[in-house]
Structure 1
Amino acid sequence: MAWLGLAVAAGCGAGRAPVVPAAVEAPVKVARCVLKYRDNRAANVARARLERDLAAYARDRPGRIVYGAQDLVTGVRLGQGEHEHDMITASGAKVDILAALLSRRDSRLGQGERDLASRMIRESDNSAADALWSRVGGGGAMSDFYARIGLKETTPGPSKYWGGTNTSPADRIRLLKVLIRGGAGLSAADRGMVLGLMERVQKDQAWGVSAAARTGDRVALKNGWTPRPFIHNTWAVTSYGRVVGPGRDLLLSVQTDRQPGEGTGIQTIEGIARMIGHRLDGLSPTTTRPCPTNPIA
């Protein structure tokens, strides 16, 4: 009877015992394997279009215009007349003066010389440049410096006229590479000092190759501008520098002469710089392909 009561009790209740479902695993997401390749065909098309557009822009501008560009990240190079070495650099030579002085002094500059260097680069102060040109040893010492760092297309100005230094866009890029990578006895501290001053030029002198920068990019530059009263009352206007940001380390030099005015030269330089900066990424495009399903037989 006890067993029967137990059986009856077990059979009574509100309903069936709940069914517990078996555990179900969430679907596993499998990452799609893809390989990234440089798209050489698209790169060649983009480069041809950019070079065509740059040439057309330069043809429509007054005076003589030459430029050179190299991106240290992608290896992309561009240029038009980049080896023309009779282009006066004017105040662009002030970076050369400081680099040569640091190279000769083994970084040992007094506070007064450091103040002169800051005024010379950041404010483009000509009196400071006169003083440091003399201390570096003038044109003869500058010729030695240029030979040591491989600037074969740069000639110092005669006598005390540092502003008469002639150079090429290609040599301006070589100088920037020395400041970035080292050479000619320039220590990391020396190079950091020069590039740091170039990053902090006065706002009213930050024009030029800075037009190649995207939002957030860092720019280090030096510009030059001078009237040429004996060459039909025209101007020479130049700008060179480094533009660094995600995916790029662009070195760019644009030089002009026979310009009707300083403002015209600036507009021309910024037009070229802007075109290169805005279209640089398109010169190294990539494409993706799925990974081989059976890479090993």
Structure 2
Amino acid sequence: MRRLIIVLATFAAGATGVGFTTHWLLTNEPDRNGVVVGATESIGGDGGRKAAVTGAKARPLDAPGLRRAVRAYVGQRPGKAGVMATDLRTGLSFGENEAGDFVSASVMKVDILASLLLQRQRERPGVGTGIGLSAGERELAGQMIRESDNSAADALYSKAGNSSGVEKSNKRLGLTDTTPYPMSWGSSWTSPADQVRLLTTLVSERSPLAAPGRGYVLGLMGSVLDEQAWGVSAAARPGEKVALKNGWTPVYHQGHGWAVNSVGRITGGGHDFLVAVCSGGSPTMEAGVATVEHVADQVVGALRAAGP
């Protein structure tokens, strides 16, 4: 696949609510029944840092304008999409269809690994600074995240207790929209908001997952194969660091077309973005990638423009 050099779009500032701490997401989005609701929702952490600015210092995010722009783009694309993004440095967040249901494909592999690490942490409290995985399991984890190897994911999903084991771990991780599928992990359902919750557990000192495990998962996500370094990386500027995991699969029994998803973290230049873009119903993988990358760039670009 490809890496893109990004031209970021700047959205006009408007009068919207600002000054969220890094612990809160602002939503004013349609729920699953199409009803527009407004609420604040804790995502449970700040990645060990305080927000760099407060409401008095940050320029406002034109959330309505951004929402219209995202909806206009997705509306003329095949299939559907949803996005959730937050900047831990400024506390600004944005979601569009962030609670929508999407087939997880291989982004589920991050959840599998986090669940297994959390289980080992509880089973072996004397592990100390280690991660509780055997050498063979570490090799499988590297193949699963860096190479997106499905056989490795099958093996680790089994070790994590398949759907029931991962579901129990997800309750501790604070996930609410992810439904692990029995045996076939790639058929699990998830949402962009839940993927950002999962990313938050990987960066927050308040996470139930200890620091060695968090660093281990992010390290693997930061070293995926070059041909898989697409997706949310399209929103990164030169010199910024990206840790990501992508998922893509044709869908036959849970819809049609391709499910193409990308989740990850972009750090540098005074920003720390957690981003998840999910899509479904694209006629080809390439079409899904284009949708995911454009939406990631569009939303992260707006959050950048609204920063200090």
- Which digits, 9 at most, give the CA deviation of each residue in 1:188-236, with x for residues without a partner? 1111110000000111111001111011111111111110134675111
Match for residue 126 of structure 2?
A: none
The answer to whether structure 1 residue 38 and structure 2 residue 61 are counterparts is: no
Q: Is the 8 A contact 1:61 1:268 kept in 2?
A: yes
Match for residue 259 of structure 2?
A: 236
Q: Is the 8 A contact 1:149 1:183 kept in 2?
A: no
Q: Is the 8 A contact 1:180 1:191 kept in 2?
A: yes
Give the residue type in structure 2 aligned to 1:120: M
Match for residue 134 of structure 2?
A: 110
Aligned mates of 2:253, 2:200 — CA distance in 1 = 34
Aligned mates of 2:158, 2:63 — CA distance in 1 = 45
Give the superposed CA RMSD: 1.8
Among 92, 116, 135, the alignment partner of 1:101 is: 116
By how many angstroms is 1:281 displaced?
2.3
Q: Secondary structure at the match of 2:238?
A: coil
Q: Is the 8 A contact 2:258 2:285 kept in 1?
A: yes
TM-score (norm 2): 0.76
Q: Secondary structure at the match of 2:176?
A: coil
TM-score (norm 1): 0.78
Match for residue 158 of structure 2?
A: 134
Equivalent positions of 1:48-63 (< 5 A) are 48-63=64-79
By how many angstroms is 1:51 displaced?
2.5
Between Structure 1 and Structure 2, the one with more helix by share is: 1
Aligned mates of 2:156, 2:67 — CA distance in 1 = 40
Q: Secondary structure at the match of 2:114?
A: helix
Q: Secondary structure at the match of 1:257?
A: strand
Aligned mates of 2:221, 2:180 — CA distance in 1 = 21
For residues 119 and 166 of structure 1, do their structure 2 counterparts lie closer, same or farther at Cα, with a shift above 3 Å needed?
A: same
Aligned mates of 1:258, 1:55 — CA distance in 2 = 16
Match for residue 17 of structure 1?
A: none
Structure exhibiting the larger radius of gyration computed from Cα positions: 1
Q: Is the 8 A contact 2:88 2:271 kept in 1?
A: yes
Q: Is the 8 A contact 1:64 1:256 kept in 2?
A: yes
By how many angstroms is 1:104 displaced?
1.2
Match for residue 161 of structure 1?
A: 184
Q: Is the 8 A contact 1:69 1:77 kept in 2?
A: yes
For residues 183 and 235 of structure 1, do their structure 2 counterparts lie closer, same or farther at Cα, with a shift above 3 Å needed?
A: same
By how many angstroms is 1:101 displaced?
0.9
Q: Secondary structure at the match of 1:280?
A: helix
Give the residue type in structure 1 aligned to 2:306: L
The answer to whether structure 1 residue 64 and structure 2 residue 80 are counterparts is: yes
How many residues end up aligned between the 2 structures? 245
- What percent of counterpart residues are identical? 46
Aligned mates of 2:251, 2:307 — CA distance in 1 = 40
By how many angstroms is 1:37 displaced?
5.3
Aligned mates of 1:111, 1:212 — CA distance in 2 = 35
Mind listing any 5+ residue stretches in structure 1 that lack a counterpart? 1-35, 286-297
Q: Secondary structure at the match of 2:248?
A: strand
For residues 186 and 59 of structure 1, do their structure 2 counterparts lie closer, same or farther at Cα, with a shift above 3 Å needed?
A: same
Aligned mates of 1:118, 1:281 — CA distance in 2 = 32
For residues 271 and 109 of structure 1, do their structure 2 counterparts lie closer, same or farther at Cα, with a shift above 3 Å needed?
A: same
Mind listing any 5+ residue stretches in structure 2 that lack a counterpart? 1-54, 122-130
Match for residue 81 of structure 1?
A: 97
For residues 230 and 277 of structure 1, do their structure 2 counterparts lie closer, same or farther at Cα, with a shift above 3 Å needed?
A: same
Match for residue 228 of structure 2?
A: 205
Aligned mates of 2:145, 2:94 — CA distance in 1 = 27
Aligned mates of 1:265, 1:37 — CA distance in 2 = 39
